Structure 1
Amino acid sequence: MVDFAKRNLFKGSTSPSPNKPTLPWLKDPDTFFEKCTRCSKCTEHCETHVIKHSSGGFPSIDFSEGECTFCYQCAEVCPESLFINQDSSPWDNKANISDACLADKNVECRSCADACEPMAIQFQLRIGQAAKPAIDSDKCNGCGACVAICPTSAINVTVSDMDETEYGT
């Protein structure tokens, strides 16, 4: 068994990699790193190519070039029993916008809202300033469509139930 805490010491990181979520519909994200065989089937079958190899060859989500369409292909091709049924919620991830957003610099940009299919990003009008984006966490499905499109990399997707661990950029 790999000790991720020791491995991360060489990278200058003290937090273990397993705290980052990897794929939608995981049965148990805490045991994912023990059960995943790193066969690469999920990365090969991801229709949007957001599943990439990360530390130790484990698959993880990278929203820097695309979004998760929740196609369920990663789960269907996995030879291990790592996933729950597709009828369940894929994850509890939400998008967050940092102060690097162009609206905070009084520059009008609505790229993130244009990319958001569930329309979770709405803009609040402000007198004499650029409209500011706000994310409705009840509508946000954590797909990451807003991440790659943001010209200032101000958007990250975080895991709501894991102390807001950032990933995807």
Structure 2
Amino acid sequence: MPAYASSPMPSRRGFLTGRVARPKPQFRPPWTDEGRVQTSCTGCEACVQACPEGIIEFDSQKRPRIRFQGGECTFCAECAEACPEPVFDPTQAAPWPVTVSITDACLNAAGIACQLCTDSCDPRALRMDLSVHPVGAILLDAEACTGCGACLASCPNDAIALNDPRQQRSPA
């Protein structure tokens, strides 16, 4: 393994070539944000146990995060109801600002017809545009996207990325 991937401090070569290991962003549960989680979460795991989809887990600091591995968030709010602390705010207009984006790894971009993500998208935020030749393209309606994560498991090429505008990083 390269030295730049195992150390929090990049090597000189890693820094100069731009190959610096960056931590993956944490996606906190709906109706929360990083500040609420850091200041109010006691690590009681009530939200983890209450999640019927099994997509809430704890990070290394005993804070809840969403892990979309074969599951999706149905926004049932059971996590928020189970939490004894003011970590969740279910009075927010939207559960969270998370949406998805389609990356260049999409099979359609390589000329291979695929629309599995559109089949799993209940709000129909992902749609197939057959006017793009030769096999079509996936169109995203960001306004309709709830960030539920249903499309992530269905993509055979991991070409769907989660985006949370609260976690915008500066360019490297």
Per the TM superposition, whether the score is higher than 0.5 is yes
Once the two structures are TM-superposed, the CA of residue 87 in structure 1 deviates from its matched residue by: 6.1
- Structure 1, gaps ≥5 residues long: 1-7
**TM (normalized to structure 2)?**
0.79
1:123-165 deviations in Å (ceiling 9; x for gaps): 1124541111011001001101001111111112110233179
Matches within 5 A, 1:47-62: 47-62=52-67
Confirm or deny that 1:25 pairs with 2:27: no
1:77 corresponds in structure 2 to 82
2:108 corresponds in structure 1 to 103
Aligned counterpart in structure 2 of residue 140 of structure 1, from 145, 152, 155:
145
Shift of the 46–164 alpha-carbon distance from structure 1 to 2, 3 Å rule, reads farther
Deviates more, 1:69-78 or 1:153-162: 153-162
Other structure's SS at 1:129 match: coil
Confirm or deny that 1:65 pairs with 2:70: yes
- C-alpha RMSD of matched pairs (Å): 2.4
**Matches of 1:53 and 1:128, distance apart in 2:** 44
Once the two structures are TM-superposed, the CA of residue 39 in structure 1 deviates from its matched residue by: 1.1
* Structure showing greater Rg: 2
Residue pair 1:25, 1:88 contacting (<8 A) in 2 also: no
Once the two structures are TM-superposed, the CA of residue 56 in structure 1 deviates from its matched residue by: 1.8
Other structure's SS at 1:39 match: coil
1:77-123 deviations in Å (ceiling 9; x for gaps): 00101111356310001011111111011111111000000000011
Deviates more, 1:106-115 or 1:125-134: 125-134
Shift of the 128–23 alpha-carbon distance from structure 1 to 2, 3 Å rule, reads closer
- Structure 2, gaps ≥5 residues long: 1-6, 10-19
- Structure with the largest fraction of strand: 1
1:94 corresponds in structure 2 to 99
Once the two structures are TM-superposed, the CA of residue 57 in structure 1 deviates from its matched residue by: 2.4
**Matches of 2:119 and 2:73, distance apart in 1:** 16
2:12 corresponds in structure 1 to none
2:4 corresponds in structure 1 to none
Residue pair 2:26, 2:66 contacting (<8 A) in 1 also: no
Provide the aligned length of Structure 1 versus Structure 2. 154
